[in-house]
Amino acid sequence: MSRLEVDQNQSNFVLDGKPFFYLGDTVWSAFTNITTEEWEYYLKKRKEQGFTVLQINTMPQWDRCASNQKLYPFATKDGYTFDFTRWDERYYENARKMCRMAVEKGFQLALVVLWLNHVPGTWGSRMIDDNVMPREMIRPYTEKIVEEFDEFHPVYVISGDTDFDTPQAVEYYNIALETVCEKSPLSLKTMHIKRGYDLIPEEFLDRIDFYMFQSGHNKEGQDMAYKLPESFREKYPEKPMINAEPCYEQMGYSRKAYGRFQQEDVRKAAWSSILSGACAGVTYGAHGVWNWQKINKPQNPVLGEGFDAPFPWQEALQFPGAWDYGLIRRILTDLRVRKLVPANELLENDTEEIRMAVSGDGRYFIYLPYSTRLSIRKELPDCTARAVDLENGRNADVESSVENGRTVLGMHPFQKDVLLIVEEMR
């Protein structure tokens, strides 16, 4: 089995020496909630849709839906509070079986080691502290994770949805990261951090291989999809970047605000991130898949964020946005795009919602939420331009002209968002 690596360009990944686009799905609750039969169907469907990576929590997701599985990583009397000194080997046996099924289908795994509610001094453990892991168990637990799962060559996501605002949180995650580096030196490591957050402690920077950020599920603040990669590019050494938790399709707006994110919203979050520097990949989420809502089970109350109720997983698995994310991978893979450098400074249009990047080989990629004329601060006299309808996959030629040292692109004929691909003739 091959191991995922960082490309020499420090912007993307390679697998077996070939470019690899990280198209992830958040199925955080897989190891506790999903039966073998359900998992088999899930893997088949996500493979058809074009996904390449599965993001799974190795601990029970704190806001998962109810399940009859009764599988937990530690001994427990009530299915809620754990005895961190006693493993439940049934859990790991089942989890390894699920991992084996996934890798046999061609998926890469991204396994979260320590979700924030198990770590003192995080926003999650301040909300609910019943299962904070004792400090002395961090290293044994992390060793256990590597021992059980390293044969599958996963990406190790050391933290889950966390902040690093206290010395305790930094210490816990430092122990976990140090342990994974020691026990699995060749694996890729990263940190999954909370919505709108861009702080990575300096002591972690030389030991993580790429950055994950989260534009999240607040209706206000969706501009984080492009502002966070801009911030990471400015503050930190160059490494691949991924929006590891953009708004999920049909997720209710957080803070109990009325409304749900639609297919077009999740497309916008993805392309806004990719063309702003996070071109290594992107992660999708469906409200009902990440927490695995079953038809005959009560809906989960969802701690903290106050989201509206999820859809049954069978319905959520079919949301149309999943196919749109598969199209992202196909477009960039078919065009052999290895690196995208943000280039919004070339656009004259007065809005940050339009995002632009260049590939370095005479191609310009522009995400356009609504049809309008565009002006590029560069003469491209013999360029070709086409608009890809991101909902239906249709293509249309777009007129271009050079005026006063600028290249002007005409309106495209589609009523929703498109990707404009402009190529210089060489």
Structural element, H or E, at residue 85? strand 82-87
**The pair of three-digit structure tokens given for residue 189, joined into one six-digit string:** 């490591």
- Domain layout of the chain by residue ranges: 5-334, 343-423
The answer on pLDDT for 302 being more than 70 is no
Q: Map residue 55 onto helix, strand or coil.
A: strand
196 sits in the region (left: phi over 0; alpha: psi -120 to 50; else beta) called left
Which numeric CATH code is attached to 343-423? 2.60.40.1180
Q: Residue 96: what are its φ and ψ, rounded to 5°?
A: -65, -40
DSSP string, 295-318: TTSPPP--TTT-PPPPPPHHHHTT
Q: How confident is the model at residue 68 (pLDDT cuts 50, 70, 90)?
A: confident
Measured in whole angstroms, how far is the alpha carbon of residue 292 from the centre of its chain?
A: 17
pLDDT averaged over every residue in the chain = 95
Phi-psi region of 288 (alpha: psi -120 to 50; beta: other; left: phi over 0): left
Determine the pLDDT at residue 299: 67
| Number of continuous H segments (helices) and E segments (strands) in the chain | 10, 22
pLDDT digits (tens, 9 = 90+) for 314-367: 999 999 999 999 999 999 999 999 899 999 999 998 899 999 999 988 899 999
Q: Identify residue 201 by its one-letter amino acid code.
A: P
**114-144 pLDDT, tens digit each:** 999 999 999 999 988 889 999 999 999 999 9
- What backbone torsions phi and psi does residue 421 show, to the nearest 5 degrees? -120, 115
pLDDT of 303 strictly over 60: no
Q: What is the DSSP letter of 117?
A: G
**CATH of 5-334 given 3.40.50.720, 3.55.10.10, 3.40.50.300, 3.20.20.80:** 3.20.20.80
For the segment 72-90, what is each residue's pLDDT rounded down to a tens digit?
A: 999 998 888 999 999 999 9
Other beta carbons within 10 angstroms of residue 8's beta carbon come to: 9
Task: Say what the pLDDT of residue 256 is.
Answer: 81
Question: Is pLDDT of 197 > 90?
Answer: yes
Domains 5-334 and 343-423 share a fold: no
